């Protein structure tokens, strides 16, 4: 058995039982990335903080190379790359740093469709008296309402939090314009680019944002590794962590994230074109197979691998139960699973309840094929139509 056969066998076994189309929640680790991670765990296992020996020196070199790769993908200086355990920690560090470098309370303007990691961190800071939140409204496509943004900025804002692309409906935001507008009002900007990395152009040197966030497991890297990219960040200025000890670097995760970023730089543009074509095919097939199907988000400006739909009359949890073991998709953010409450994103878009109750999020990925798209269209359509038929006369469509 060669080094890749176990991974390949497991992947084939999983594909044979259920088709995975939930790439917004997480992506499988690319075998090429896994190979890097395993080598760093088994062969190049030194402590990057212990450079007095050759093993530590090699580990430190791998960390430095990963910084270069992340910086290359994003047009950022390697010295501005700070590795974290994922996007959530990076967000917490960024907001804590902003609190530590501004007079309290920090005035934060947040779009109502931000990821829960941003919203919950800001709300926690507000409860502690460290922050004050000003909300930015969105329209029915989840696009930022510019009048709401300008109104918030006019009131005096220290930090604007806006994602590069929405993790549920896929809407892409004009972050360059937002950063320029915020800068004119003296505000820093935190950009959650977790879903956007490698899937839309991002040059941080040109963009000028204070903080940018990414996570490895959204770009075919391992879970438990992410990064904060910031030209202004310093650990010594993080509120409550002054003088904190730098932890032992997760060298295998860091090296894997760096290589995942390199692959995104090399292959991301072509991959996005391919996935957009497949996504459009899937959308067209579903619209033809499911009467009254609705596509949510901004169809003209969205992530290439995203398809977010509603099928009024077919409760999404029932549809997912029919698809279990066949097609893996979701109703929205993985962080909201089990919350027993509607998506805050769809609520902010002011979608009617029948659309919210029947929403489905589909995320295509690196291994998705045209045959997968056809299979998914048929299976999803059959599940929706079956649920509608079963509940006909019980639910209002």
pLDDT tens, position by position, 186-237 = 999 999 999 999 999 999 999 999 999 999 999 999 999 999 999 999 888 8
Q: Do domains 8-29+268-390 and 31-264 have the same CATH topology?
A: no
Taking a C-beta distance cutoff of 8 angstroms, is the pair 124, 153 a contact?
Answer: no
- Cβ neighbors of 124 (< 8 A, separation 6 or more) are none
- Pairwise pLDDT comparison (340 vs 66), residue with the higher score: 66
Residue 73 pLDDT > 50, yes or no?
yes
Give the mean pLDDT of 370-380.
Answer: 97
Range with the lowest mean pLDDT among 100-104, 222-226, 312-316, 370-374?
100-104
Total-model pTM: 0.91
Residue 1 pLDDT greater than 50, yes or no: no
Torsion sign, CA atoms 6, 9, 14, 19: positive
pLDDT over 50 (residue 142): yes
When comparing pLDDT for 104 and 383, which is higher? 383
Residue 16 pLDDT grade (very low, low, confident, very high; cuts 50, 70, 90): low
Decide: helix, strand or coil at residue 370.
helix
Residue 70 binned pLDDT confidence (cut-offs 50, 70, 90): very high
pLDDT band at 13 (very low <50, low <70, confident <90, very high): very low
Given a contact cutoff of 8 angstroms between Cβ atoms, the answer to whether 162 and 189 are in contact is yes
In which band, very low, low, confident or very high, does the pLDDT at 55 lie, cut at 50, 70 and 90? Answer: confident
Distance CA 394, CA 99 (A): 51
Indicate if the pLDDT at residue 71 is higher than 50: yes
Active site residue 161: no
Residue 391 has what pLDDT? Answer: 77
Task: Say which CATH architecture domain 31-264 belongs to.
Answer: 3-Layer(aba) Sandwich (3.40)
pLDDT band at 361 (very low <50, low <70, confident <90, very high): very high
| Cα gap 202→281, rounded to integer Å | 27
Write a three-state SS string for 95-125.
Answer: HHHHHHCCCCCEEEEEECCCCHHHHHHHHHH
The pLDDT score that the predictor gives to residue 104 is: 86
Q: Is the pLDDT of residue 394 over 90?
A: no
Of the residues 161, 261, 335, 359, only one is catalytic, namely 335
Tokens for 293, please give them: 């199907």
- 9: pLDDT confidence band, cut at 50, 70 and 90? very low
> How many Å apart are CA 164 and CA 85, to the nearest integer?
20
- Confidence category of residue 397, pLDDT binned at 50, 70, 90: very low
Residues 332, 344: Cα–Cα separation, whole Å: 10
pLDDT of residue 333: 61
Mean pLDDT computed over every residue of the chain = 91
CB-based contacts of 21, cutoff 8 Å, min separation 6: 327, 328, 329, 362, 363, 364, 365, 368, 372, 376
- Report, as an integer, the average pLDDT of 106-129: 96
Q: What is the pLDDT of residue 244?
A: 57
Residue 11 has pLDDT above 70, yes or no: no
The two tokens of residue 363 are 């995320």
Domain residues of the chain, as ranges? Answer: 8-29+268-390, 31-264
Read off the pLDDT of residues 261-285 as tens digits, 9 standing for 90 and up.
999 999 999 999 999 999 999 999 9
Distance between CA atoms of residues 54 and 129, nearest Å? 48
| CA neighbor of 355 nearest in space, from 299, 389, 395 | 395
Task: Identify the pLDDT of residue 8.
Answer: 61
pLDDT of residue 10 exceeding 60, the answer is no
Second-level CATH architecture of 8-29+268-390: Alpha-Beta Complex (3.90)
Please state the φ and ψ torsions of residue 234, each to the nearest 5 degrees: -145, 135
Percent of the chain residues topping a pLDDT of 90: 81
Q: Are 254 and 66 in contact (CB under 8 A)?
A: yes
- Phi/psi region, residue 313 (left: phi>0; alpha: psi -120 to 50; beta: rest), is left
């Amino acid at each position: 058995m060669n080094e890749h056969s176990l991974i390949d066998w497991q992947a084939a076994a999983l594909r044979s039982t259920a088709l995975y189309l939930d790439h917004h929640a997480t992506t499988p680790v690319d075998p090429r990335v896994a190979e890097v991670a395993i080598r760093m765990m088994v062969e190049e296992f030194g402590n990057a903080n212990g450079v007095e020996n050759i093993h530590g020196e090699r580990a430190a070199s791998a960390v430095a190379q990963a910084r270069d790769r992340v910086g290359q993908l994003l047009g950022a200086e390697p010295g501005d790359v700070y590795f974290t355990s994922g996007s959530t920690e990076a967000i917490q560090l960024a907001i804590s740093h902003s609190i530590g470098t501004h007079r309290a309370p920090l005035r934060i303007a947040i779009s109502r469709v931000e990821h829960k990691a941003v919203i919950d961190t800001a709300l926690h800071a507000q409860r502690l008296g460290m922050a004050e939140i000003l909300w930015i409204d969105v329209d029915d496509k989840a696009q930022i309402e510019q009048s709401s943004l300008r109104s918030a900025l006019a009131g005096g804002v220290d930090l604007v939090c806006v994602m590069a692309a929405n993790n549920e409906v896929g809407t892409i935001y004009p972050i360059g314009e937002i950063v320029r507008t915020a800068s004119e009002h003296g505000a820093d900007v935190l950009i959650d680019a977790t879903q956007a990395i490698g899937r839309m152009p991002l040059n941080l040197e040109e963009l000028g944002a204070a903080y940018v966030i990414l996570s490895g497991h959204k770009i075919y890297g391992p879970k438990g590794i992410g990064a904060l990219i910031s030209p202004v960040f310093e650990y010594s200025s993080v509120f409550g962590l002054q003088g904190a000890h730098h932890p032992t670097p997760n060298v295998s995760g860091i090296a894997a994230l760096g290589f995942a970023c390199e692959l995104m730089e090399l292959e991301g543009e072509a991959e996005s074109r391919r996935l957009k074509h497949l996504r459009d095919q899937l959308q067209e097939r579903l619209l033809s197979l499911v009467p009254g199907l609705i596509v949510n988000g901004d169809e003209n400006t969205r992530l290439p691998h995203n398809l977010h739909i509603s099928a009024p009359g077919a409760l999404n949890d029932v549809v997912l139960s029919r698809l279990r073991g066949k097609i893996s998709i979701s109703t929205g953010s993985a962080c909201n699973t089990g919350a027993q409450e509607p998506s805050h994103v769809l609520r902010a878009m002011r979608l009617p309840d029948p659309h919210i109750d029947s929403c489905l999020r589909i995320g295509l990925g690196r291994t998705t094929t045209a045959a997968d798209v056809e299979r998914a269209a048929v299976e999803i359509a059959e599940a929706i139509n079956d649920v509608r038929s079963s509940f006909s006369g019980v639910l209002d469509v």
